[in-house]
Amino acid sequence: MKIFIHSIVILALVSIANAGFSQTVNWRSLQPAEKHVLNVNAGWDYSTTVGIAYGRHLKTKIPVIIGGEFSIPAGHELVDDLKTKIGAQAEVFRYRNFSATLKVQGIFRRYESEYVRLVNFGSEFSTALGYYRPRWYAAAEFGFDKSVITHFKHGSPMKEYYPEIQDGWYIPTGGNFFYGLQLGYTVKSYDLYLKGGKTIEQDFKTSATIPFYLNVGFNKRF
């Protein structure tokens, strides 16, 4: 039964929560007077997904942006599946044009089908190491998306298949490592970026249900 539950969780959460949806910033083009970063993005993991994000540039010793993100997969029932992130990212190291970014986020996600409705709370920790110029940048990223606790509410088909199945909270429910590349191009106060990479489960052995992610995004800074 535990294996059965684990498989459902991984399948459901990977379908809406790969690493492809995170706002990225060109630190060399971000100006002190620019306090806001608006973002729209689209990508592919289990399905075509669209998202929006907002970041607030803080007046701190090192560049810091706090904010939130919201994404949904394209489909008939738009709010059946969703993901939100709230957190911060900071340029924690800089040497000439080389830079390191640290990002920490809390995650809420929801998945629903005729078999089960899942409500999940998790976290994401990631870093990006790259070369940044005012007009472009390239970076490698690595991170961990942890599903901390999940609430199950099973539908009638699932209860008919397994009458003893129980609704309720389950902890822990798995996590995925992800790694890939970021490429960005900047014109004035606009950033266009492309992200792509691979996802693997936390045991470093099992390939995720959808092992790749791809995301394209657009920022407006003001």
Residues 200 and 180 sit within 8 Å (Cβ to Cβ): no
pLDDT digits (tens, 9 = 90+) for 42-69: 997 666 889 999 999 999 999 999 999 9
pLDDT of residue 7: 47
User: What whole-number distance in Å separates Cα of residue 85 and Cα of residue 107?
Assistant: 5
* Amino acid 47: pLDDT: 67
List domains and CATH numbers for the chain. Answer: 2-221 (2.40.160)
Count CA within 13 A, CB hemisphere, residue 214: 5
Segment 140-144 shows an average pLDDT of 96
pLDDT 10s digits, 160-212? 988 999 999 998 778 899 999 999 999 999 999 999 999 888 888 777 677 88
Region of residue 181 (phi > 0: left; psi between -120 and 50: alpha; otherwise: beta): beta
The larger pLDDT score, comparing residue 13 to residue 169, is at 169
| Confidence (pLDDT) at 14 | 44
Closest among 125, 145, 126, 129 to 137, alpha carbons compared: 129
Residue 205's pLDDT is: 79
108, 137, 182 from 131: Cα distances, Å = 32, 6, 10
Q: Are 25 and 54 in contact (CB under 8 A)?
A: no
Q: Please say if the pLDDT value at position 11 is more than 50.
A: no
List of residues 6+ apart from 186 with CB closer than 8 A = 26, 29, 134, 135, 136, 137, 192
Both tokens of 4, joined, read 């059965």
**pLDDT value of residue 216:** 95
d(C-alpha 102, C-alpha 107), whole Å: 16
Tell me the C-alpha distance between 48 and 108, whole Å: 19
Residues in the chain: 222
The predicted-structure confidence for 70-127, as pLDDT tens digits, reads as follows 998 876 655 568 899 999 999 999 999 999 999 999 999 998 888 999 999 999 999 9
User: Which amino acid does the sequence have at 153?
Assistant: K
Nearest in space to 22 (alpha carbons), one of 221, 220, 216: 216
Q: What's the whole-number average pLDDT of the chain?
A: 87
**Nearest by Cα to 71 from 124, 26, 30:** 124
CA distance 109 to 17: 8
H/E segment holding residue 190: strand 190-201
pLDDT tens for residues 18-48? 444 567 999 999 999 999 999 999 997 666 8
Task: Give bridge partners of residue 91 from the DSSP assignment.
Answer: 101
Give residue 73's pLDDT: 83
Q: Decide: 217 and 185 in contact? Cβ < 8 Å.
A: no
- Region 138-159: mean pLDDT is 94
